Structure formats: C-alpha cells, structure tokens
Structure 1
C-alpha cells in the first residue's frame, strides 16, 4: 500500500529575512528614484528662470525696450502683427513691466490694462524667438494658463513676472527692488498659499544656486504674507528656512534684473 506524505514545507526564517531585505531594497530604490527626480526637476525649474533672464537681456540688446513694455511690438515683432487672436499687444513704453510696484501675491488678469504687460512679457519674448514656452496664437483668456499664456515649470506650477520697487512688506521702501519672476502653483491667484516647494526643498535650491537665505540674494522664498522677520510657514526668520518640514509651504521669487527699467 502506498503511504501518503502529508508533510508540508514552509519558508525558513532565513528565506523570509532575505525576502524582506529584497523588498526593503526595492522600496528604498523607488524612494531614492523619486527623490532624485524631484531634485532634478527642482533644479530644472530654476535653470529655466536663468534662460528667461538671458532672453530678457537679449531682447533689450536687440530692441532697446523691455519685453512686455515695448510700445511698438505689433510693428516690430512680426508674430505680434500677424497674431490672429490679438493676444500679442503693445506695452505703454514707460520702461516698467506692469506697474512700478506690484503686490507679490497678485497674478494679473491678462487683459487688465497696465497689468497686461506682465503677460505680454512672455508674448514679446516668444514673438522675438527668444523662448519657446507659450502658445502665442491662443486667444487671451480671462485668466492665465500654464503653457499657453505663461511658461510652465518642469516640476509643478509656472512663472509670472513682477516689477518690485521696494514697498513689498516694507513701508519704508527698503524691500526688494528689480524685475522678478515668481514661481507659483496656480496660474491665477490673488492670495497666499500658492506654494510649490517645501521649506526643506526651498532651502536646498537656494543653497545650491545662491546664498541659502530666504530674504536675500537672487533666490528668495515666501510663505504667508507675514512680516519680513516673522515665521511665515516657509521661513523661520529673515535668515533661516523653517527646519525639517516637507509639505509645500513656499513660493519662490527669482531676481532677473537689478533694475526694473532698461
């Protein structure tokens, strides 16, 4: 008579341990890859700003005018003259992109008079062949749109341009001055909370490309609309980012010209 073998075999502790190690290595690899991707996209988002800065300088050298503010763009920039949607327009030629002092938290409606120059900034650069970031033939809508009216960031959000003349968060006029690009999450926002980076990541970007300080240099960061020396969720003070925070609490400000004019 044949005897049935009812003996069951399972995994040994060694096999289980090896399997857990392999799973751990795979998870660590995935997390490391995600961090590397985030880091590279973060750096690429700033490198994109540097290309906008160079394009602005080249535009000024070629046309003796600021992009967005150029008063005769429709006669000098052929794509503006032939723009079927009428989106590429003239500026007012006062050597300021937008208003001389723009609230850093406001993103202009692309058709709102002088504010329109902050959108035309991108249209003029595109029409001059200095960037390839927007759709110059798209009708100008009631609000901004990443990749259509304004450039999109490689990571998240996109870019607006702003002129600052010293009044932002400083009634004495000692605040930031010049022409700035703001990296923010939503295309059209008039309030705080439009964040693209965590304090940790903002500090890493600032340290890699600038001075590592949130309120000085060519790279700066903001959180909520708090006083310059106050904790605003992104920065702990004027000289330090909030430590060990990984959720999104910062939008970024990049200076591309010391002077807002020519």
Structure 2
C-alpha cells in the first residue's frame, strides 16, 4: 500500500515567510528607534550642559569650574566639600584632561551639581565625576585648541560615538562636517581625547564628538 506524505502548502509557506519578514522588519525598526533615541539623548545632554553653564554664569557671574568665591555661609551647606577653581577667569582643562576629571574638570561638574543645574553626585571626583553618555563613553569638557580651532575653545565632548550617530549629531547641531563649524570630531573609539579633526565621517569608525560650549 502507498503511504501518503503530507507537507506544507504554498499558502502556508507564504504565510510563514510573511511572518518572518514582519519580525525581521520589527527588529530592525526597533534597533533604529533605539539608536535615534541615543542620538536625541546625546543632543539633549549637549544642550542641557550649555544651558547649565550659561545659567551658572548668569547667577554667580563666575565660570563653573573656575569659581572659587563660594563659602558655606554664603551659598549654603550643599556647597560643603565642593572643589574650588583657580578664580582666574579661565576654565583650565586641557585636551588630555577632558574625560579624566583632572584640571578644573572635577570642579566644573561639582559646582554645576551643587548649584542644582545638572543632576549627579557632587562628592564624586576624578574620572567618576565625568558623566557617562549613551554609548558607554564619557561626556566631558575641555578648553583647548583642538580639531582645527586656532585658539583655546571651550568644548563639550562625547567619546565613543559610533559613526552613524556622530553624523546624526553633527547634522542636528551643525553642518554635518567633521572638521568645520561648531561641532567637530576626532576619530577614535573608547575614551579618545579630542585632537586632530577627522576627515570625512565614516559609519565604520567611532569618534569623539565636540560641540562649542
């Protein structure tokens, strides 16, 4: 006797392929949404730090990080233990100190936190005081002549930014070019200090992206 063999019909196979396509499309769309969210968070971090810096200037008439005029009776107990700056009217943070908390970097973040302009623990010092960004890198500050700037320039820098995200940040805030305008980038993964401006952006590379403060 012949044994009948059953299998999938063309309609059933088509339905399975459609379902697989929808699942793959959903995964890819979800990844895109996550990446767009990270870019938005990075842009918000840059704009928020700019706003905090200018608000501090407006309130205290001092540069955050350089300020050394506060005492406990003058500003309250929340300023106890906060690091004072040099008070010379210059934010002293070299390119090599951007993400290390050295120079006046620790004072910069501690003072903004004590004033209530940014969130975070004002007792942190060194590299721990520098906030983490959306890609596991750091969000630091420097005042250096880097990335094609001819003079020392106050910059907010994000390290370990993937190429696609670096392009998106530059396009949102500036001209989309890595070596011109108010947003410039240095090629390098992990915690790469700002240095020479990169050539054309590549999605295959990672960057330290800096925006003028």
TM-score band, normalised by shorter chain? 0.7 to 0.9
2:162 aligns to what?
A: 197
Contact 1:74/1:90 (8 A) holds in 2: no
CA–CA separation in structure 2 for the residues paired with 1:216 and 1:46: 18
Tell whether 2:36 aligns with 1:56: no
Corresponding residue SS for 1:44: helix
Equivalences for 1:102-251 in 2 at 5 Å? 102-103=94-95, 105-107=96-98, 109-110=100-101, 115=103, 117-132=104-119, 134-138=120-124, 140=125, 143-145=126-128, 149-164=129-144, 166=145, 168=146, 175=150, 177-184=152-159, 195-198=160-163, 200-224=164-188, 228=197, 235=198, 237=199, 240-242=200-202, 245-246=203-204, 248-251=205-208
CA–CA separation in structure 1 for the residues paired with 2:122 and 2:59: 20
Deviation at 1:52, TM superposition (A): 0.8
Instruction: Please report the TM-score for the alignment, with normalisation by the length of structure 2.
Output: 0.84
CA–CA separation in structure 1 for the residues paired with 2:127 and 2:131: 10
CA–CA separation in structure 1 for the residues paired with 2:38 and 2:16: 33
Contact 2:179/2:185 (8 A) holds in 1: yes
Instruction: Please report the TM-score for the alignment, with normalisation by the length of structure 1.
Output: 0.70
Give the number of aligned pairs. 207
Tell whether 2:89 aligns with 1:89: no
Deviation at 1:178, TM superposition (A): 2.2
How big is the alpha-carbon RMSD for the aligned residues of Structure 1 and Structure 2? 2.6
Structure 2 stretches lacking a partner, 5+ long:
189-193
Corresponding residue SS for 1:98: coil
Structure 1 stretches lacking a partner, 5+ long:
185-194, 229-234, 257-262
Alpha-carbon spacing, 1:109–1:23, altered in 2? closer, same or farther (3 Å) = closer
CA–CA separation in structure 1 for the residues paired with 2:196 and 2:109: 31
Contact 1:59/1:125 (8 A) holds in 2: yes
CA–CA separation in structure 2 for the residues paired with 1:251 and 1:203: 12
Deviation at 1:226, TM superposition (A): 7.7
Deviation at 1:131, TM superposition (A): 1.2
Deviation at 1:64, TM superposition (A): 0.9
CA–CA separation in structure 1 for the residues paired with 2:111 and 2:97: 21
